Structure formats: C-alpha cells, structure tokens
Structure 1
Amino acid sequence: MAEQKPKSGVTKATKAATARLQLFWTVLPQIPSVIRVVLLHVLKMSEPSRYLGLRENVIVSFIRSLLDQPKPQPISKTQRMSLRDPGIKGRIWVSKVSSQVPPEESIRDVLVAAIDSSKGQFVVSDGKCRVPDIIPVEAEWTGYRAAATPSSELPAIPEEKKYGEMMKECSSDVTILYFHGGAYYLMDPASHRPTTKRLAKLTGGRVYSVRYRLAPQDPFPSALLDALVSYLALLYPPPGAVHAAVDASNIVFSGDSAGGNLSLALLQTVLEIRRMGLKVTWFGHEREVPLPAGVAANSPWLDIVQSMPSWTANQKWDYLPRPRDLADIKQPKDAIWPAQPPRKHLYIDDDFLLHPLACLHLNASWRGRRLSTYEDKWLVSKLVKDGVAVVFEEYEAMPHVFAAILEKAPQSARCFDGWAKFISQACRSPQEIQSSFTTIKAKTLKEVNINVKNLSPFTEEDLRKFAYERVGRKSSFPNTPAKL
C-alpha cells in the first residue's frame, strides 16, 4: 500500500501557532505599560488601585493601551480578528441556526415606516433611509450543559439534535434574545459565548444570540432589520426552524454595549410599530408584533455620537478612547473604509446620525415597558418619568461592559446575578418588579440606594443641544453650550 501523503493546506496546528505568534507581537509592546501599572498599584500610587484588584487593573490598562494605538490598523483587519471563532468547549450547548427569508417584504416595509415615522426633527431635510436586503439571519441557540467538563467538546450530531439536548436541560421558559457588543463593527455570537452561557445557567433558560450584519459594510438599519427578523422568527418560527413558537411574555431583549443599543432600538421599533397600528405579513400570515417581557441592557451604548459629558469625565476609569471628531476616523484606508458614498460614522449615514433609533437617549417616549439598564443615568430618569418600571444598578469605578471583561471579579458575579434575576422576574412575575436604583460599591459590594431625582442633572433640551453641537448641525435650541 502506498504511503499517504499529508494533505496540503493550513492545518489547525499551523493556525494555532500563527495565532499565538500574532498574540505575542500584540502583547510585547504593552509590557512596559503593564509593568508601570503593576508598580503603581503595588505602591498604591494610582487611583484605580483603591477600587480594583491588581488583575483587574492590569486588564483594563492593557485593553486601553491596545485601543489607543498611535498607528491604528485598517478597519477590515480589526474586524476580521474580532470574528475568530475560539471553538466550543466546556459546559455549554450551542446549536447554530439560520432563519429563512420570508417571501414577503412586509417586515422591511414596516421597519422603514417606523424609522420614517420616528425621525422627527433629528433627520436632516428629506433624508431617505437606506433600504437593506432581507437576508437569512444566523444565530446560536445557547444553553448550559451541566454534565460536561471544561474540556468537553460538542457531540458530532446535527444542529437540531444539539438543540434538543439543550432543551432537556432548560428548567424555565426564559428566552433571551441577545445582541453582542462591539461598536456595531466588531465581534460575533462566538465571542460572547461566555456571557450567554452564564445567563443561560443563571436563568435556567436559553439564549438566542444573533449574528446581525456589521458596519461599515452594512450600516443602519441593517442590524435593526436583522434584529426584527430574529424577534419574528422566535414568535412565529419560519419553515425548517428547530424551535417551537415562543410567547412574547417569555422573551427578554438583552445585549451589551452596541448590543444594548440594538436591544433598546428594537424595543423602540416595536413600540413605534404598535403606535402606528401596523402588522407584518410573515410567511403568508398577517402577524401582530407584541411587546417582549422586558429589556435587560448591560452598559448600553446609547449615545452613538458620543456627545454626553461623561465620555470625557469618566475617562480615567475606562479603556475606551476619548471621543474624536466624527470626520476624523484615522484608520488606514482599506476595502471597506472610507465608505462609498463617504460618511462620518462607521455605523450610520450622516443625515441619520441623530435618529432616535440610533441615538436612543433622544427618544420622546418609552411608556409601557420594563427595563433594566446599567449605565446611562439620563435614560433611567426619562424612563421613570414615562412610568416605566426600571431596575438600575451602577457599579463604582467599573469600566465599560466590565462583567464580560473582568469575568473573575466579584463585581462581575454580582452584576450577572442582578442581570439574570431581572430577566427571570420579567418573565415569571413581572407584576412584582419594583423600580430600584442602586450603587454597588467597589470591593465591598455594599449596596447604596440612589435618589432617582438626583440621577441626572440634564434636561431633554440639554441632550439635544449636546447632540446637535457634536454633529456640527445648527440647532433650533438657543444658548447651545460650549464643548465639554
């Protein structure tokens, strides 16, 4: 028998070695910065050392240095690196699915109508919304796999059977429609499996984690259309779906950062559709678009133009770069950026920069919903005024999306517990949800009640002034404040 020659091509071992080498060259330039942070922390000469452990302080500083490179990489390279799938191992079930495209275009027409109806004074002149294609939307059903070990791999069975095995371990009807963060141009459900697995475990339910389209290739409202398609797919399963219909009272929208923005944008879209009395024709049937049980957003990115003063005031605690001029995106040119036709923002066209379905803090009303949000104090104040039941938790000295970044920190465990508790309660006993506003102190985790009247010093007029000035648009409001 002739000796078999190894197949040509790149092996898994080669890919792994290449990834390790790339990681080494990424980490190497950061070593002096890390050493400085460690010394200042040990000597208690840095303010973060009063609130963060050494490990957490190093992680935050390291991420900050990575994001604040003097020579940024092309957008396409950064995006591609963030989309790498680390593989599926451990105590997790993942069933990969894709929704079919409906034969009707009704869902897109309804979304465009909602966008047009809600634009108000925030869209310049007669700006027309992009009309994205309706495409199959991929997602990952995620559940907790109790009997597995940290090194367990998924069995080599069809996706439908993986879904069935996952469902055997669900102890509740909770279904989380999850949207990952990543500034609308990075990350993937694969990068957020630790988060979705943890939420599934704590709620006893399951997570439908959506692979929505990313900018700059697919700007607003592509991701929002994918989110709406995903919600309808849960409510009214398309042909070939592995799941049965899910009642809206068992669905909670959730997400972190840009995913928090998308979860709230989807909610506001549903509210607008209902205000307009619209229905969606979906696979041959006229369907209602009901409200979900609630929304649970973690560090939601509400102000996409970064106009609020907190973007600079809280800089020392975070790893996010300082806001820069919207026309000054310095990444090197590549195949996907600058966009054609040109625009200032990676995610959205210039005319729609302040549309309330992108800048969520500019929405006029949130009446009729329950929400749990972890960052934007002004939105919480607005929600309370609109009569919405809100559970607000603020974590002292913690950076953006800290629960996912600092997985082993005690603050992260507390955050996940509060996050999951709200989700479960919104589905099981929504009438028992009482609004609460709490600061969780660093290290001690002591809970301190917040007077909701003191949450935000800003008025709606202030927010509009900040936003108009930020995008360089002439405001109809007098006495526009100076830049902060």
Structure 2
Amino acid sequence: MANVNLKLIQQYLVRIPLVLVTAIRRLLQLSPVQDRVSVTMELLVTFVRSFLTLEDSVSKMAEVRLTDSRAKGYMWISNVTVPKPEDDVLEALIKAIKHHNEGPETFDVPDVRAVEAEWTGYRKGASEDTPIPDISEADKYERLMEDVDEDMTIFYAHGGAYHMMDPCTHRPTTTALARFSRSRCFSIRYRLCPEHPFPAGLLDALVAYLSLLSPAEGSLYEAVPAKKIVFAGDSAGGGLCLGLLQILLTLREIIPSKTIRFHGKDVPLDLPAGISMTSPWCDVTRSLPSTFENAKYDYVPPPPQKPGTIYTPLPFPPDHLWPTVPPRVDLYSNANMMAHPLTSPAASPKGIWKGAPPMFIAVGEELLQDDSIYMARKAHRDGVNVVLQRYEGMPHCFALLAPTIHQSQRCLKDWATFCVDVVHGRVKGYGEAQFISHEMTKTEIRRIDDIGTLTDSEVERLIKVGRDWRVDGEMVLQRAWKEKELDS
C-alpha cells in the first residue's frame, strides 16, 4: 500500500509544472477557454487529461475495476448475484442483432452467465465516515429499503469506454441519484472488453433487467414493474442502456408473444418508464465533428487518426488482453459492427426508436456533444418525448468528475427529477433542448428538431465511413497476422 501511495504522489508531483503553466496562462488571459470555463475546471481538465495517455496496458487500465472502494458514509450497498438463466436470452439477443444487420456484420457469441449487481441507496443520518455495519447482504438490503421513499428503481450502467470501471467506482453517482430521487439504484457489473467484446455486456444487461421484472426464486428483492424502472448510464453506460432499450423494442416487434423464457417463466418484455443518460457514447467510431472541434474543452483526447490513412489500433502496450487473437482494430467489437444500431445508436435508421419511452440526455460542450445532439434529434423525430440539456464549456461526464460545482448539482438534480417524474407520468418539455450558459445565468430553449448542422443521412454516412475505414484496417491487420502464423 505504501508503494502504491508513493507512486501516486510521484505522479501528482510531476504534473505540478503543467498545472502552473495552465494557471499562468490563465492569469495572462491567454487561455483558449477562459471565456466559458472557470479556472478551477480548466485546471481540473488539464490535470485529468495528462493521465489519459497510451502508456498503460489494457489490463493495467482494467485494474481500476478491481479496486473496490470501501462502502461507507452516505450510502447503503447490498451486493446481489442474478443466477444464470436459460439460453433463451442469448437466442433472443442474437435475433435482435441480426434483425438490424445490413451486411456481413460479425460478432463473438458470448455465453450466458450469472450477473452481479449492487443495490445502492442514500443512507439517511450518516456522516462521511459512517461504516456500513457488518451484517448480511439481505440485512443491508432491508436497511437500504427503510431509507427509500419513492417506489421506483434506477437501473444503472457505468461508463468507462466498455473496458474500464465498475459499479464500485460509480457509487458516488448512484448514491447521488438515489438521494435526489429518494429511491434506489440497481448498478450492474457487466462484462468488459476486450476480453468480452460486443455483445457480452448487452447480454448481461438484458439478464439483469429481466431479473428485476422476474427475480429468481430466493432473491433478496421482489419483482419490480417495468413502469417503475428507469434506465440510467454515463458515457459507454448510456450507450449500453440505449442498446438494451433497442433490444427490447426489437424483440417486442419480432416475437409475437412479446415474452421471453427466464428462470422457468414466460416474462413479458415490458419497456421501462424512461431512459436517462449523461454524455452517452452513441458513435463508437468517433466520427462526428465535435470529436475534434470541442477538444479544447475536454480531457478525453480526440482520435489520433483521421480517414485517409490505413487505420491502426491504439498503440497500447501489449499484454494478455490486447491485442486479441485474431487481432481486431477496436477494443469493443469487430470493425464491421461499429455502425450497427446496438453499438452506435446515432447511426440507427429512421423509425427505429418509435414507441420508446421518454428520454433525458445531459451533455457538456465535449467530444461526445454531437453523439447526444443527433441521438436526441433522431429519437425526437421518431416520436419520442426527449429532454436534452447541453452545458456550455463543460467536459465529458462533468457531473461525475466534479459533482459539487453548480453545473453538476443542477445536472444531477434534474437527472434524478426526470427519473421520478417519468415514473409518475409527468415529464414535460417534448422536443425541448436546453442550452445552459457557463455562468448558469441563462438557459436558451431550442427545438430539438432544429439543433445540429448535419442531416440524419450525413450523420449515418460519417459513422459508416468511420466503420469502413476500420474494416479496411482490420483486414490489413488480420492479413499480416495470418502471414505471420503461416511463417511460424
């Protein structure tokens, strides 16, 4: 532990000059973002950005999910495991994927597994250091429920680019949502890439959702009606929730009974009351304009390449997880899957979101801004009740990065309020986009139909160009791998 702390201190110390340069540039009014970003946020973004390099291997980055921050303070945590169900869920998932295939999309078929999750609640009357009592998970769940006032559940999928993070890293966020909504969160531990590529995480999400609708015998919790469940997620978790929602919409369309066999019962494929996200990742090819245009406001680095070259994978140091065998160019999926509606929802065709429940999206002036704008517009044009908030000058997932600033507090409270309102059927603001100024003094209301400079067909074309570029790069990569295998 001492060595870990020493290494962390060293990492902080070497970044002091960078922070000082940023502060001096700000004092001299030479900062390119000073017109809409506070000095505190600029320093924080600069500091975080300096850590996001390609120096660590994929397995090293994945270690963050193994660091279980001890549950204490204002939260209740009760761990549960959803037993492995029948293979019907896998068969249904494959049908949904293939229903939207346009060509030779391919994927590794995952196995059906048990899925872990955390019930998270806000602990009333606790202090920052109040420990969770040494009692059974069942007793923790019972104590958690004593502090719940709203009869609803927030189904949460964490972010982390599909290859990092865990429910335990997102406890501050799920606790905040539980607090502001006076309800509880069901935070799922889905499988991560590259070891478990698409659609393993989606399969886990489907199993977890069905386990709320129809818990296995002996579960800690009782069945939760779909009308009292709201999907929620950040970044890749938002993309996962959109994928899960699209699976449900698709299965309801192609399965006449609109049911699925789950733990010995025919469970209706009911839709949740709503879906809510912050900075959802809706284009895994990262091909939309804001990916480069908003880089100065964000800590997430833009892609190092643009179309016109042979696409190569990000040069992570090799380890037992990456590169894969046979090699892929992307951590999450085969290249030919990257414009599929279940991986890049922003590329989905017209009409695909018809019948979806109300949707809330909050996003900063960040690399994934266009993901949110065009996803919101696409859903709105399919008849979905959409509320979009865009926060000027804010970076990716700002409400998670700096939860105490005014913008984050508004975002978290509005997010939680949407969850409560959508369960009670009182969501307002159909087709409303709120553009919130950096000083929080102005909110410009725009029609969602009017936002964005690209047409829907241009958005789809850009994402498909990004996909095809990767397909070509993957073919080159695999050809070289096969030649090397033959030579050996």
TM-score calculated relative to the size of structure 1: 0.90
1:59 Cα deviation from its structure 2 partner: 1.0
Tell me what 2:381 maps to: 385
Tell me the distance in 1 between the aligned counterparts of 2:147 and 2:33: 41
Tell me the distance in 1 between the aligned counterparts of 2:61 and 2:332: 15
1:474 Cα deviation from its structure 2 partner: 11
Runs of 5+ unmatched residues, structure 2: 306-310, 364-371, 472-488
CA displacement, residues 183-218 of structure 1 (integer Å, 9 cap, x when unaligned) = 000000011000000000000100000110010000
Tell me what 1:366 maps to: 353
CA displacement, residues 306-325 of structure 1 (integer Å, 9 cap, x when unaligned) = 01111001111111111134
Contact 1:426 1:433 in 2 (8 A): no
Tell me what 1:240 maps to: 218
Question: Which aligned pairs between 1:14-413 and structure 2 lie closer than 5 A?
Answer: 15=1, 17-67=2-52, 69=53, 72-102=55-85, 104-119=86-101, 121=102, 123=103, 125=104, 127-277=105-255, 278-325=258-305, 326-364=311-349, 365-369=352-356, 370-375=358-363, 376-413=372-409
Match of 1:403, as an amino acid?
A: A
1:43 Cα deviation from its structure 2 partner: 3.3
Tell me the distance in 1 between the aligned counterparts of 2:468 and 2:327: 17
Tell me what 1:423 maps to: 419
Runs of 5+ unmatched residues, structure 1: 1-14, 476-484
1:387 Cα deviation from its structure 2 partner: 1.0
1:452 Cα deviation from its structure 2 partner: 2.6
Tell me what 1:459 maps to: 455
Tell me the distance in 1 between the aligned counterparts of 2:429 and 2:217: 36
Aligned to 1:66, what secondary structure does the other structure show? Answer: coil
Tell me the distance in 1 between the aligned counterparts of 2:374 and 2:206: 26
Tell me the distance in 2 between the aligned counterparts of 1:129 and 1:75: 21
Aligned to 1:332, what secondary structure does the other structure show? Answer: coil
Contact 1:411 1:445 in 2 (8 A): no
Contact 2:359 2:386 in 1 (8 A): yes
Contact 1:56 1:409 in 2 (8 A): no
Aligned to 1:297, what secondary structure does the other structure show? Answer: strand
Tell me the distance in 2 between the aligned counterparts of 1:434 and 1:462: 25
Aligned to 1:444, what secondary structure does the other structure show? Answer: coil
Contact 2:228 2:273 in 1 (8 A): yes
TM-score calculated relative to the size of structure 2: 0.90
Structure 1 residues 247 and 474: alpha-carbon distance in aligned structure 2, compared to 1, 3 A threshold:
closer
Match of 2:360, as an amino acid?
A: S
Aligned to 2:17, what secondary structure does the other structure show? Answer: helix
1:47 Cα deviation from its structure 2 partner: 3.2
CA displacement, residues 320-357 of structure 1 (integer Å, 9 cap, x when unaligned) = 11113452310011000001121111001122122110
Tell me the distance in 1 between the aligned counterparts of 2:27 and 2:168: 36
1:473 Cα deviation from its structure 2 partner: 5.1
Match of 1:248, as an amino acid?
A: A
1:363 Cα deviation from its structure 2 partner: 1.5
Tell me the distance in 1 between the aligned counterparts of 2:25 and 2:151: 48
1:432 Cα deviation from its structure 2 partner: 5.1
1:433 Cα deviation from its structure 2 partner: 5.9
CA displacement, residues 167-192 of structure 1 (integer Å, 9 cap, x when unaligned) = 01100012000000000000000110
Contact 1:44 1:50 in 2 (8 A): no
1:45 Cα deviation from its structure 2 partner: 2.5
Tell me the distance in 1 between the aligned counterparts of 2:235 and 2:440: 26
Match of 1:116, as an amino acid?
A: K
Match of 1:29, as an amino acid?
A: V
**Aligned-residue identity in percent:** 36
Tell me the distance in 2 between the aligned counterparts of 1:465 and 1:434: 28
Aligned length: 453
Tell me the distance in 2 between the aligned counterparts of 1:219 and 1:328: 15
Contact 2:407 2:440 in 1 (8 A): no
Contact 1:403 1:411 in 2 (8 A): yes
